[in-house]
Structure 1
Amino acid sequence: MAAAKPTAPVLPVLGGTRSSYRERVADALRAALVAGELRPGQVYSAPALATRFGVSATPVREAMLDLAKEGLVDTVPNKGFRVTEVSERQLDEYTRVRALIEIPTTAELAVTADPAALEALRPAALEIVTAAEAGDLVAYVAADLRFHLGLLQLAGNHHLVRVVRDLRERSRLYGLTALVEQGRLRDSAEEHLEILDALLTGDPEPVRAVMTRHLGHVRGIWAAERNSEAAG
């Protein structure tokens, strides 16, 4: 059976306030940046992105201005927004800082977290697997972010959560498309279920082991495309 191809993200029509819709669009754009679906150095217009995401141009333009303030894109007068370049050194540094924070914090949750609170994150872990099977990279990245931040929130350190969110949103996973084409993205997705199962043993060491492996795979995913280009 052929692997699923990446699908174009479409945001559903949402209720709620204008600001909440703008935030939803911004979250989807951040996920597309992380997934590598919006390419560094390329200029994107708000109308083109609106068509791609199935929404109107106004919330896209507003959301892109938010991303510009975060340094994720640059405004290009009369044209749109250019995705900022992220160097391999920067990506490596982001991964290392994440490992320093996420591995010990998540491992400690095996002892401190309420098992019911851990189980409550299983739907998010399953959503990651579902997105991987569908080849929906934006949904994959968004669910992955919710899962890992949900875990870190159980540690009760809100500043730590903000730091990790910022690091994740500045990262790029250039190799995700290749994993979809090779039918291997589901394997990476299922590591999130492994993390939960390890946490529920109550032993920090299995959690530390699977988190170390998981973040090592993340480093490999962002580097995959560049290594392939270098080899070619």
Structure 2
Amino acid sequence: MSEFIKKIIKVGSLENITKLYEQGEIFCSTMKYFKDCEKPDARFDRLEGSIEISQFTTLTIYNDKKEIILSKNSSPKTIPLKKGFLSKFDSKIQGNFFCCTAITDENENCFLDSNLGAYKIDERFLEFGDTMLIINNPTHFILSMQEEIRNLGFTNNESLVEYYDSNIDNMQLSIFKKDKNYEYQQELRFYIENDNGNPIKFYIGSLKDYSQIIKLK
């Protein structure tokens, strides 16, 4: 996979990006953290961990006596709903994520400012932090991640995220599929199988020789 990736971008606070740049500090939050944050922003997704999505156009709510409380198709007890979707979750799926952005041949034009000859990012990335790290050797970075995760005794999978439309799609999902609202992130995701519910932190060595820090604001 790494041969298709030209650059990797990670956006965060100056403190966290500096730790990554100087020490190779990798912090992997739990799936629950990304799903259940009380103040969601561009990092968080309530559909995280979904295994299936299906569309529906009718909805009826019954009480314990099987009496209709509310129904889209009954008047006057009508739900003002044009359509909706149902997502299913598997509570057994747990683990940790390290998320970043992958620049590939296919999406490079979305990030490259030809007038400036430099990379640009969507302004929504500013919700992640004020500092960007551009990793110029994605293969070395990915191999370093894989090696250290194995050394810690964990199982890891990484992949580019695929995006679906929660307004129209009926499909099986996975940890590497997200709603198209997040498509601007062009995410490369590392998933570590781990059921203890705790964040994971480890070090892969300095990135100074193959990356650069850019202040965003």
Question: TM-score normalised by the shorter chain: which range applies?
Answer: under 0.3
Relative contact order (C-alpha < 8 Å, sep 6+): which is higher? 2
**TM-score when normalising by structure 2:** 0.26
TM-score, normalisation: structure 1: 0.24
More strand by share: 2
